[in-house]
Amino acid sequence: MKLSVAITLLASAIAEAHYTFPSIANTPDWQYVRTTVNYQSNGPVTNINSEDIRCYQRNPGTGAPGTYTVAAGSSLSYNAKASISHPGPMAVYIAKVPAGQTAATWDGKGKVWSKIYQDKPTLGGSMTWPSQGARSISVPIPRCLQNGDYLLRAEHIGLHSAGSAGGAQFYISCAQITVTGGSGTYSPKNLVSFPGAYSATDPGIMINIYYPIPKSYTPPGPAVESC
């Protein structure tokens, strides 16, 4: 009995240390964000070659109930539950839904993703991560986007156990949005696919962040695109 209780408490503690990204703006969980595999367990993706690395979707092919309308040039909060408890970089990618499909029906496959947000650590006596402990990230929606439906992909990489390949933990979800008021001139230079954007041994993914303390850090993936 005591062992069973201990195992239950340990599992609960591990789950509480993890997190999900279930909502955008001031909206209910999983209303505009596709339900992820970890919606109950909070566990991460660790295999970057898995299809889960794209949207970590619980039911592939099934969209969220709604698609959220946002103005180009505004900022949109992407919310964590309960908070981003691990050290590591936060990034947000966007992909334009092709003609004939909607944000609720498209799977996001192919070299269609561009990075529109990325944070980096403060270096010194330790690595201090701006997103650690945050409950929400403010994402700037480029003013030059073409109007229409998009998938917005939030990604936080927990680097606390990333000293060997496969140790990094990816916390991911995809929101369904419709962009209005954009100029339509957005022309990203570096489109990537998921899987495909990362290697398990990329220096921003396989890294010991504690000792020796890194003197520099380069996030994985492409550079942030601008208008």
pLDDT tens column, 76-92: 999 999 999 999 999 99
Residue 211, in any domain of the structure: no
pLDDT tens, N- to C-terminus, the chain (227 residues): 333 333 333 333 344 589 999 999 999 999 999 999 999 999 999 999 999 999 999 999 899 999 999 999 999 999 999 999 999 999 999 999 999 999 999 999 999 999 999 999 999 999 999 999 999 999 999 999 999 999 999 999 999 999 999 999 999 999 999 999 999 999 999 999 999 999 999 999 999 999 999 999 999 999 999 99
Q: Is residue 40 situated within a structural domain? A: yes
Residue-wise pLDDT for 186-213, tens only, equals 999 999 999 999 999 999 999 999 999 9
Helical H segments across the chain, by residue range: 2-17, 52-55
Instruction: Select from 54, 43, 39, 143 the least CA-distant residue to 107.
Output: 54
Q: Is the pTM of this model over 0.85?
A: yes
Q: 133: domain CATH number?
A: 2.70.50.70
User: Token pair for residue 109?
Assistant: 């496959």
Q: Please state the φ and ψ torsions of residue 6, each to the nearest 5 degrees.
A: -65, -45
- Look up residue 12 and give its two tokens: 């609960």
The residue with tokens 């990489």 is 157
The range of the structural domain enclosing residue 113 comes to 19-180
Number of domains in the chain: 1
Q: Could you tell me if residue 121 is inside a domain? A: yes
Helices (H) then strands (E): counts for the chain: 2, 8
CA separation for the pair 151, 27 (Å, rounded): 17
* Residue 189 belongs to a domain: no
Q: Residue 59 and residue 62: Cα distance in Å, rounded?
A: 6
* Whether 201 contacts 172, CB under 8 Å: no
